[in-house]
Amino acid sequence: MEARRDVFQAIADPTRRAIIGLIAAQPVNVNAIAEQFDVSRQAISLHLKVLAECGLLNITQQGRERICEARLDKLNEVHEWVAQYHKMWTGRLNALKSLVEEEEKEATSSPKKSKHIHK
């Protein structure tokens, strides 16, 4: 049984991220998407397939055209994952900043021993 792709696989590729950017504002037909890239239409079709499997777009048939429409709500998974690590690293960096500031404060408030070099 083939595992369903996840949204992280979709956004890992710069071409797929660019496709998401193209269709984010409005639905776009497959040919118009393919014209924006210097790759084969077959390659674009594979990218669209990955995006569809990840749930980031729907492809519908309208007459002779295939239309791609973004489903950006799936990007919430990415946002939640990034937010989790953002919170953790913000806390750690703030603690480090406090430690450095405290060390600097102690270094400037303690009397300094002057070092004289005798020749």
pTM for the model: 0.70
Direct distance between the N- and C-terminal alpha carbons of the chain, in angstroms, rounded to an integer: 81
CATH number of 7-73: 1.10.10.10
98 CB-near residues (< 8 Å, 6+ apart):
none
Quote the pLDDT of residue 30: 96
Which single residue is written with the structure tokens 């210097």?
Answer: 38
What residue ranges do the domains of the chain occupy?
A: 7-73, 75-105
- Least Cα distance to 20 among 66, 57, 67 occurs for 57
Mean pLDDT for each 10-residue chunk of the chain (119 residues)? 72 96 95 95 96 94 95 87 88 90 86 61
